[in-house]
Amino acid sequence: MPPSVAPTVAIVDAYSSANRLAPLLRERGHRVVHVQSTGRIPAVSAPQFVPEDFDTNIVHRGDPAATASVLAEHRPVAVLPGGEVGVELADALSESLGLRTNGTAKSAARRDKFRMVETVRAAGLRGVEQLMTSDEDEAVEWAGKLGGRVVVKPVRSSGSEGVRFCESGHEVRAAVRAVLGKDNAVASRNDAILVQEYLFGTEYYVNTVSMDGRHHVCDIWRTTHISANGVRDLLDGAHLLPRRGEVQEQLVAYTFAVLDALGVANGPAHTELKLTPDGPCLIESGARLCGGGLPTLVRTALGESQLEWTADAYLAPDVFLDRCGEDYRIERYIASIGLIAPRSGTLVDYPRLPEVRTLESFHELKMAVAPGDPIHRTVDDFKIPLLVNLAHEVEEIVRRDHGTIRQLDGDGFYTIG
């Protein structure tokens, strides 16, 4: 390749937060090509894809070797995972082309939530009791024997899509019927479901980037949940935590062990876990960037994010290794708050939105549903009509404004026709 030609980087499924990788890489002087892992971009991801950010788009037709051959013509120096659906293809392409990779040996365990938990348990780590089945009677019987509350969820999906918390056999049966055989948001069909024990405890996110087996903590979040719209544990918000603390040390040690068990040696990872009375326990871990645009918000707090660390791990390894393990410092405390629509219909207006904009820590607003659009009763992460991001130098101001948003949210916040 002539020295005047910029080195090429490939991103597989540059959706969700990964749509910010291409602009960053271009700023650093790289050509960027896109690999689309499915014939059609999943509907939930299509609005997040920016074709203009890429020199070309390669559509995967089901044969990894053929796609690797086409990609090889561009002589990429790295293949980066983007959205969740593209993680396995990114593993296959990077391994085939001899680039920095997590390899394919444990790819399925990094995507299939049943295999993920079983792999973690086989490594001697705490993991939930679970059953994978396509038989609703078996699901009901297993849940009854376990006793107490259980979680029913798809084996492969993202966010809280299809996740149901069940207290009875009737609820388990209804949850299984709602998920089994249906297409999900990551372009696959739910041919089986998971039934898992319910974990009592606070939920956290630990976002990392790894290089050759060395892990770096980019940011740690504490999430909050409420029971609303008939849903237990509906996500309410997420607050950035300082790097150090007794809780953080437990979370990080467990997360690093999970990454090792799942073979995440290179690239970003988003790990969700609960801190139970018996210690940390995995919910799931994705070998890709944290979604929801949180890495971009993290830049507001820290000046950098998983995005920059990912670019360094693949393209500036000396820079990564020189700083790996450094503690991040919070310059501004941040939180991301999802509003919860009480019912469905056509949105006419958000009459109390001006009050949100005047909050002292108001930073930005992301509007998924605009006046005139259909609005859906919020029952999972995919039906949040508005996302409000807060930022302030004083943490208590952020917490106060979070509480104010929740007080404002409700029937009076929406005019729905």
DSSP string, 112-136: -HHHHHHHHHHTT-----EEEES-H
- Residue 3: predicted pLDDT: 44
8 Å CB contact between 140 and 172 = yes
Range with lowest mean pLDDT among 46-50, 187-191, 240-244: 187-191
User: Which residues lie closer than 8 Å to 58 by C-beta, 6 or more apart?
Assistant: 10, 33, 34, 35, 36, 67, 70, 71
Between these two residues, 147 and 5, which has the higher pLDDT value? 147
What does the alpha-carbon distance between residue 56 and residue 67 come to, in Å, rounded to a whole number?
13
- Residue 2: predicted pLDDT: 44
Q: pTM to 2 decimals?
A: 0.94
Q: What is the DSSP letter of 216?
A: E
What does the alpha-carbon distance between residue 65 and residue 74 come to, in Å, rounded to a whole number?
15
- Residue 163: predicted pLDDT: 86
Run of H or E including 89: helix 87-96
> How much is the average pLDDT of 309-334?
98
Share of the chain above pLDDT 70, in %: 97
Range with lowest mean pLDDT among 55-64, 152-161, 349-358: 152-161
Classified as helix, coil or strand, 346 is strand
- Residue 159: predicted pLDDT: 60
What does the alpha-carbon distance between residue 180 and residue 242 come to, in Å, rounded to a whole number?
40
Q: Using pLDDT thresholds of 50, 70 and 90, give the confidence band for residue 79.
A: very high
- Residue 156: predicted pLDDT: 76
Q: Using pLDDT thresholds of 50, 70 and 90, give the confidence band for residue 180.
A: confident
Does residue 390 surpass a pLDDT of 60? yes
> How much is the average pLDDT of 120-136?
96
Return the structure tokens found at 87: 């993680």
Q: Using pLDDT thresholds of 50, 70 and 90, give the confidence band for residue 187.
A: low
> How much is the average pLDDT of 329-336?
98
8 Å CB contact between 110 and 287 = yes
Q: Using pLDDT thresholds of 50, 70 and 90, give the confidence band for residue 41.
A: very high
Range with lowest mean pLDDT among 41-45, 191-195, 336-340: 41-45
Q: Using pLDDT thresholds of 50, 70 and 90, give the confidence band for residue 271.
A: very high
Share of the chain above pLDDT 90, in %: 88
Does residue 308 surpass a pLDDT of 70? yes
Q: Using pLDDT thresholds of 50, 70 and 90, give the confidence band for residue 231.
A: confident
Q: Using pLDDT thresholds of 50, 70 and 90, give the confidence band for residue 4.
A: very low
Mean pLDDT, the chain, integer: 94
Neighbours of 124 (CB within 10 A): 9
- Residue 185: predicted pLDDT: 62
Residue 406 amino acid letter: R
- Residue 160: predicted pLDDT: 64
Range with lowest mean pLDDT among 126-130, 175-179, 357-361: 175-179
